[in-house]
Structures are given as C-alpha cells and as structure tokens.
Chains A and B, each alone.
Chain A
Amino acid sequence: MQRRYRTVPDLKAHESARALAFEDAALAGKLTAMGLLPGTLIEMVRSAPFGKAYYIKADGVRLALREEEAASIMIDV
C-alpha cells in the first residue's frame, strides 16, 4: 500500500524520521506543548510489552505515546 506519508507507528525500532504535521488538533495541542513539533526528529525506541503504545525520543526527549497519539503524527518518508 502506497501512501504519501507515514506515521510514527510505521517506524521500525531505532529508525528515525522528522515530524511533518498532525492529523488531530486536540492531540496536536498536547504534543506540541510537550515539545513535539513539526520538524522534530523522532526516533522509535521500542513498543510497549503488551503493544498499543510506543517509547520514542523526540529531539532526545523520551516520550511514551499511545497508538492513536503516535498515529496522529505524520513523518517524512
């Protein structure tokens, strides 16, 4: 399946990409306040033991995001 962009859950462990934009205004409010902005370098660290959540680094800051939160962040291909 070809898409014009990917989202954070598409990243493999230790893969990095830059955030482009957000798909949801409410989640964008929360994420930008925490310092995750368009242009931020996102590194996938690992997914949660029981799934549905991701451990990422945003410009070196460690964050835990839920599936929906991670999927609302569009990243470059």
Chain B
Amino acid sequence: MRGSGEKLVRIALVGNPNSGKSTIFNQLTGLRQKTGNFPGVTVDIKEGRLRFPGGREAMLTDLPGTYSLYPTSSDEKIVAAVLANRLDTHFPDAVIYVADATHLEKHLLLLTQLLDLDLPVLLALNMSDTAAEIGIRVNTTKLAERLGIPVVAISGRTGENISKLISETEKLISGNSDRAHKRFYPLSDVEKHVTEAVCLNLGLKNQYQGLLVAHHHGWLPFLSAQHRSTIEAIVHDKDFASLRAQVDETLDRYDRFTPIVQDAVQHPPQFPSTPTDRIDAVVTHRVFGPLLFFVVMLLVFQSIYDWSTVPMDLIESFFSNLNIWLKALLPAHWLTDLLTDGILAGLAGILVFIPQIAILFLLVTILEEIGYMARVVFMFDKTMRRFGMNGRSVVSLISGGACAVPAIMSSRTIGNWQERLITTMVTPFISCSARLPVYAVLIGLAVPAKRVFGIFSLQSLTFGSMYALGVLAALASGFVMKKILRSRELSYLAIELPVYRMPHWKNLWLTVWEKVLAFVIGAGKIILIISIVLWALARFGPGKAMELAAEKARLEAARQHLPEKAAADLHAAYQLEASYAGYLGKVIEPAIRPLGYDWKIGIALIASFAAREVFVGTMSTIYSIGSSEDDVALRQKMKSATFDDTGAPVYTLATALSLLVFYALAMQCMSTLAVVKRETNSWKWPLAQFAYMSVLAYLLAWVVYNLFQNSAHL
C-alpha cells in the first residue's frame, strides 16, 4: 500500500462511533478512496488521498469508531492495535480527531489517550452547526489553549470550514502548528513500574504505549510469543490489576478534561424535548416499534423488486441484442462462441444483479444513516440472544438479504466472539439476491399462477416462504450452535442511540458505489471465470467424443428425416451429453437422483457450488437456448425435459420444490466461504459451515421431494 517513490505522510481519522467521522472522510477524499484488505489480519481499513491546496498529498486512513483504547469488539481492537505499535504500516504521522460538538463532554476521552501517545493531533469539532442551533456555544480558542492542540469547528454535512480543516492539517504535518501539548494522564505507581519494565523489554520510548501493551499483551497481534510471556511475567510480578486500572485511568481522565470542557463550552439551561424523543416514543414503542419494523422490512423488499425490474430488463436486453449482433457479425468459430456464450453471458450474469444490490444497500444505508438501525438493535437484542446472537446481528441478517459477504463483514461490531461467530455462520441462510433469479425460474416453472383467497398470488407466497425458510434455518441453527458452543465471555449491548437526522447524500452514494464495486470485482470475477469454464466444459469433450456425437446426431436426423431446426437441437443435445460437462453431471447423478435431479441439473449444481447465480445461465446453456433469451424460453425447455432412462418428466412439482429448498439452504458461494475464513482466521469454520449447510440442504430437499412425489404432476 506504499506510494511509489517518496513515502506519503499518513494521517489517521480517529473518533467515537457516531461522531460523523466517515462523513468527514468522504468530504476530504471523495472518490479518491478504497477499502484495503490486509492479508494476515482481519482488517478492512478505508484509505484515501487528501490533497492540499499547494498540490502536496497525504494518505488519510479512516480507523473504526471507538470510545477508548480499551476495546470491547474486534473493530475497536483494530484501533488499539494500530496505535499501540509504532511499526504498524498504518501507524499515523498525525491524527485528525473528530468529536461531536453537541456532546463534547463525552467525546474527549480517546483524544486525551492520543495526547499521551505523543502524536500530533488536531481536534475537529463536528456538527458545530447543530450545536449552535440547540444553543451550545463552544469557545474554540479557549479549548485549543487548554488542550494545547489546534481546534477547528466544522460541519461534515454542510462542508462548513472543511477547507480550514485541510489547511490546519497541512500546518500540523509540516510542524507549523505552534501548539504543544503535555502528557495528560500521570501514571499511578504500579502503572509506572509495569510500564518501565515493558518499555525496557520492548525498546519502547513512549510510556503510554508501554501501558497499552501491558494491558493488551494477551491479544496484540504484533507481539512475539516470547514478548507475550515476558510481559505476562511482569504484569503478574507487579500485581497489575488490568481491568481495575483501566477504569481508574478512564475516570481520572474525565476528572481532568471535564473542567476544560465546562470552561470552554456553554450549554443551554436544560435539554429540551427534541424531535428524536417524539419519534422514539413511536419507533421504540412496545407494540408499534416491532410492527413498524416489519412494515419497513416489507417496504424494503417490495422496493427491491419493484425498482429493479426496469433496469434489469434493460441490462438483459442490451446483452441479448449485443450477442445477436456479434454472432451475425463474426465468423462461426469457437472463439466467437467464447466471446458471446462464454464471456458476454458471464458479464450479463454479473451486471444484471447491480440494480438489486444497489437498491438494497441504498435502503440499508439510509436506515443506518438516519439512526434507525440502532433502534432495531435495541428492540431485538433479547430475541436474538435467544438464538445465540446479539441485537447487532439483526443488521447483518438484514444485509444478508442483499449479499452475505458485506453482511458478514458488518458483524465486526459484535464484541462477543461466540455471538459474532454464530452470526457469521448463519447469515448465509438468509436468501441473498443471487438466489432470486433461481427462485424466479423454478417458481415460474412449478407453481401455478393462481391466487389464494382472491388476493395473494400463489407464486409470491412461495417467494415469501423461501425467505421465511432462510430466516427459520438461520435462527434454528443459531439456537443449536448456542447450545453446543457455550462461552462465558462477556457480551455487550451498550449502544448509543444517535439523534435522528437526514441521510447525507454523498455518504449514501459513496457507500452504494463501494458495495457495488466490491460485488462486481469480488464476486464478478468468480462468476465470469466460472461461466467461461462452464462454456468450455460444455463446448469440448474427451478424445473424439464430440466428433462421434456430431456424427451420431447427423445419422439419426437423416434417418428420422428431421427438419433443419430439430436436427440442430438434436445435434446440440448429443454434443452436450458427450462433453466434459455431461460426463461430470452423469458422475454425480446417482447421488442426486434421490432428490429428483437428473445429470443436467447435476451440471448446474456443480457450477452453483462456486456461485449459485450461475444456475440460470447454466440451465440456459444446457438446454441450448443461449443465456440471452428470457426465462420463458428456458421454462418451456425445462418443462418438456424427461429422464434419459425412464422417460418420466424431470420437472415435476416435487423436483422443483426440492430444488428450491436445496438452493435456499445450501452453501453455494465461494466468496462467502472466503470471507468467513478471513473473519474467523481459520479454515475450520468455513468448512464446518459448508458441510452442515450442504447436509441440511440435501436432507430437507430429499424430504420435500418424497413428500410431493406422489402429489399432482405439472
């Protein structure tokens, strides 16, 4: 991540959760940002370039929001781990500390810890416009004097004073800030002894850094095993009660900075009843609260379907036309096939998801930005705890409705390892947007377009049941895992319920842009590769098999005097059966026959184990209708398909339902497994997840097939 040539100055953005840090990050960097994945550590840190008016640049790092350097969750640990290690690649040369001006008396704890790390710090008082509106007056000159650091009053939302923030930051890194701060917290005697020994052993120069290492020696990733045991011995020898010392230090810091804040900030006589209180009286109400939540969820999913239809149709018809045009233009050759049926079909399969993913993330981000998600966490904490999770898991499970990959990454705010692990393990059960096209094809095929009680369409009821099945499977496995795992580690809810506010549009667009890009590049790469591999598997066969099949088809067509179109179809079918894909499908057919599947579905299943969204494309290829054609053509082909040996129809209601259940429950996403591996730091959990989800999917699909086998055929 180092810049080419001279090393860029690194500036970190630090602050409490809800301080509006990311808005400021977006203001400062705009589109010049990216989320980096750093191998070895489960860290996602956002970075961007900050450009100063004179043309100079600096690397700006957005560290996760935290209240203190004594962390209780893994994203908070990232901040402590970076700041406690001067050799960390992300260790900053200077810090912009973002604090909420409306609650300054609660937001300076972490700042005083930074002061003790001897870092050049600048205090950015965010939401200064809101503070002024509610009658809070901050004397920035006095604050700067008392703290010994530059202070800028800004507003991330309106962009007020952002240019001043940039010029002050440039002064800070050039060493032109005339302020100099002193150590803030004087160590106690025990702390002094422990710290001196730690600093001596590790060659550290900064006292407070030594203290942090003493507190966190159990988990800090940069410590060697030898250092760890040395520090363990020191801590034990000096009788250092870490937890107690942390609380005492925190209280001492408050005692020291509270008078400073009181001196510099003037509050209105009392807190007036605000719109937030009136909104919360309904939103977190005993009855209306949960009711409103379900209405909101319904609206979210309704919007995803309603708003995505038109753009999805446009994308599909664009690729279909492009395909037809290219096939007419280019000579008939396997390279042409590769371009049209392989690469373009794969691209279409990726891009067609963008509307749904964008809409879902837009809505989830809006809910988060306005402050609603924190209320959901509060309301459903108890419910989720029953299933081994945490109120915060609700956010992950809802995001799982779009894509499990970012949903699992959002579980980092859960402090308790077991609750976080269970959330990670069960989130893939939630029907993600990749399952939608599979559901659409199968439901359209198997479920009659009838209405029940004259209102509900049977097809949309089935759609709904697929979601319900996912939620049920997630909760049930959470419940079971809670019984198996059992941990005594502390679990926290303690969460701030922020003031309701309008979403910041720049934040929204940047978040949606970032997630869509992550999907297109991350999952898209895999989908594209798989669709090319699949194309090759279906296009080529072992030895002379393909030539033989072609010859056989020609003879058979001639014998039956088939018309040209039917002869071509027969040719394609014989070719596919002779190809590597047909061969693979036949190998696994015995295993999947009990679920009602033939070797053609087998091919699709194999392909889907990498990413389930390739199902529709694969089925289109297998039934040689080309992925450019619409669902209807595919459904007609599938409807007339029969088993090769018995001649019985393949797609009975029983088979379709069994396939639906299989796709709802099976772990068919390499990207998700990769993320679970990264988040849990071991192969054990993704492998366990893959195994139990597949077994559950197989068993339930088998049960469903046998239950419906004797009911009415299509």
Contact = CB atoms under 8 A, between A and B. Distances in A.
A30 B494 contact: yes
B426 to A, nearest CB: 20
A62 B102 CA distance: 13
Interface string A39-73: 00000011011111101000111111110010000
A46 B497 CA distance: 13
A59 to B, nearest CB: 7
Contacts of A35: 67, 103, 105-107, 109
A62 B494 contact: no
A55 B280 contact: yes
Interface string B273-286: 00011001000111
A32 B377 CA distance: 21
Nearest to A69: B494
A25 B243 contact: yes
Interface residues of B, number: 45
Interface string B470-501: 00000000000000000000101111111100
Contacts of A46: 284-286
Given A49-B290, A55-B284, A61-B106, A31 B251 contact: no
B206 interface: no
A34 interface: yes
A64 B382 contact: no
A74 interface: no
Contacts of A33: 67-68, 70, 109, 250
Contact of A53 (B67, B254, B493): B493
A49 B250 contact: no
Contacts of B290: 49-50
Most buried by A among B106, B490, B496: B106
Contact of A31 (B103, B271, B381, B494): B494
A75 interface: no
B494 A66 contact: yes
B437 interface: no
Interface in B491-513: 492-499
A28 B67 CA distance: 13
Contacts of A48: 284, 378-379, 381-382
B497 A64 contact: yes
Nearest to B106: A35
A22 B247 CA distance: 10
A26 interface: yes
Given A55-B284, A62-B497, A63-B494, A49 B379 contact: yes
A37 B379 CA distance: 25
Contacts of A60: 103, 271
B260 to A, nearest CB: 15
A64 B377 contact: yes
Contact of A28 (B247, B280, B496, B497): B247
A69 B381 CA distance: 13
B492 A30 contact: yes
B285 A30 contact: no
A29 to B, nearest CB: 5
A37 B382 CA distance: 25
A7 B139 CA distance: 37
Contacts of A62: 276, 280, 496-499
A70 B465 CA distance: 38
Contacts of A37: 251, 254
Contacts of B244: 25
Interface string B375-406: 00111111101000001000000000000000
B280 A45 contact: yes
B367 interface: no
Contacts of A38: 251
B381 A63 contact: no
Contacts of A28: 247
Nearest to B243: A25
A29 B494 contact: no
Nearest to B385: A52
A69 B492 contact: yes
CB-based closest 10 A-B pairs: A35-B106, A66-B493, A64-B378, A33-B68, A52-B382, A33-B67, A62-B497, A25-B243, A60-B271, A32-B250
Interface of B: 67-68, 70, 72, 103, 105-107, 109, 243-244, 246-247, 250-251, 254, 271, 276-277, 280, 284-287, 289-290, 374, 377-383, 385, 391, 490, 492-499
16 contacts: A29-B72, A29-B247, A30-B494, A32-B251, A49-B284, A51-B382, A52-B382, A52-B385, A53-B391, A55-B497, A59-B106, A62-B496, A64-B377, A64-B378, A69-B493, A69-B494
